[in-house]
Amino acid sequence: MLAPLLSFEAPPVLFQDLKVEPEEARSILRPQRDDRYGFGYALSPYRGCAHGCRYCYVREYPHALHGSSDWGGWVTPKLNAPELLWSQRHKLHEQAVFLATATDPYQPIEREFRLTRACLKVLLDCPTTRVLLHTRSALVLQDLDLLKDFGDRLTVGFSIPTDDDMVRQVVEPKAPPIPTRWAAVERLVKAGLRVGVAATPLMAMTDPEGFARRGRESGISSLWVGSLRLLKNDPFYEVLARNQWLKVLDPDYVEEIRGILQGALPAVRRGTRKNPGKPCAQPVVTRLVPPQPTHPSLFEGIG
């Protein structure tokens, strides 16, 4: 593990306009007691998320003390995350761990802090633990060698909520471009990893058939759609209205896209919600639709 750049006591530092306030976390594994989510614990090496997606409702969680106005403008690295995880690894026997429910584990600052990487190294030493890693960023490729060491114990999920990078620039202005995500997906698959794509929360699509084709040709093993959930009085509603994208709130639109995308992958075997990352000899193509909310980074609760 690289030495952290900051200590707990260090004052906030600006990394290219990002306010970084490291902390010593009190806990790192958050139990997920609802079987439908398919993992026993959530693990978030950071609080806050520099991707700052405009629909992200983590911005309203109680831990987001900065309020939603500067969501995406601050990140709190949990500097002791790997050590905490190591001390609690006894909980992880035959469990699945999800990274991350309330942050992107490969947001840009991971390049400096390597907390996700350090946590993964701990998880690698837990031989019965499965790992579900979910991101929007090609930065995940910096850990490719480490990820390969997990073998069948690891599934990588990519959120690609739209096929149109113009839409992405409005709804996720600080997150990586859509073509970069597909390129990363393809590299991961080529390296032998099991990769799923989540069109979630579903945003406006220009060519859903083309999106489905891209998924099939890239060799991913799952593709699913999840609908958007707005906060109360969510300013994101105005963004949708201004751009004439309110259809993403229409269940019929979501169903239509879901039908197109899920029809693209032949079902080899249905995964189970309880155990979607179960080791298997063959890649598992699931038509699984995760429970709501379906954006893994937006599951209820915080890490």
Q: For ligand SF4, which residue of 42, 58, 99, 119 counts as binding (CB under 6 A)?
A: 58
Q: Which of 136, 153, 214, 258 binds ligand SF4 (CB under 6 A)?
A: 136
Strands 46-47 and 74-77: antiparallel
Residues 199-238 that bind ligand SF4 (CB under 6 A): none
256 CB-contact burial (10 Å; exposed 0-12 / middle 13-18 / buried 19+): middle
Q: Is 258 left (phi over 0), alpha (psi -120 to 50) or beta?
A: alpha
Residue with Cβ nearer ligand SF4 (56 or 284): 56
Residue 297 C-beta: closest distance to ligand SF4, Å: 3
Beta carbon nearer to ligand SF4, 234 or 285: 234
Is 176 among the residues that bind ligand SF4 (CB under 6 A)?
Answer: no
129 binds ligand SF4 (CB under 6 A): no
Interaction of residue 99 with ligand SF4, rule CB under 6 A: no
Closer to ligand SF4 by Cβ: residue 52 or 157: 52
Contacts 24+ apart (CB under 8 A), 181-187: 181/136, 181/137, 181/138, 182/214, 182/218, 183/138, 184/137, 184/138, 184/140, 184/141, 184/158, 185/158, 185/160, 185/218, 185/220, 186/218, 186/219, 187/141, 187/144
Beta-bridge mates of residue 135: 158
Binding-site size, ligand SF4 (CB under 6 A): 12
193 binds ligand SF4 (CB under 6 A): no
Give the residue, chosen from 22, 29, 77, 104, that forms a contact with ligand SF4 under the rule CB under 6 A.
Answer: 104
From candidates 32, 76, 80, 103, binder to ligand SF4 by CB under 6 A: 103
Residues 36-55 that bind ligand SF4 (CB under 6 A): 49, 51-53
H helix runs in 76-196, sequence order: 81-87, 110-113, 115-124, 144-148, 165-171, 178-190
Q: Which residues of the shown chain bind ligand SF4 in the complex (CB under 6 A)? A: 49, 51-53, 56, 58, 103-104, 136, 175, 297-298
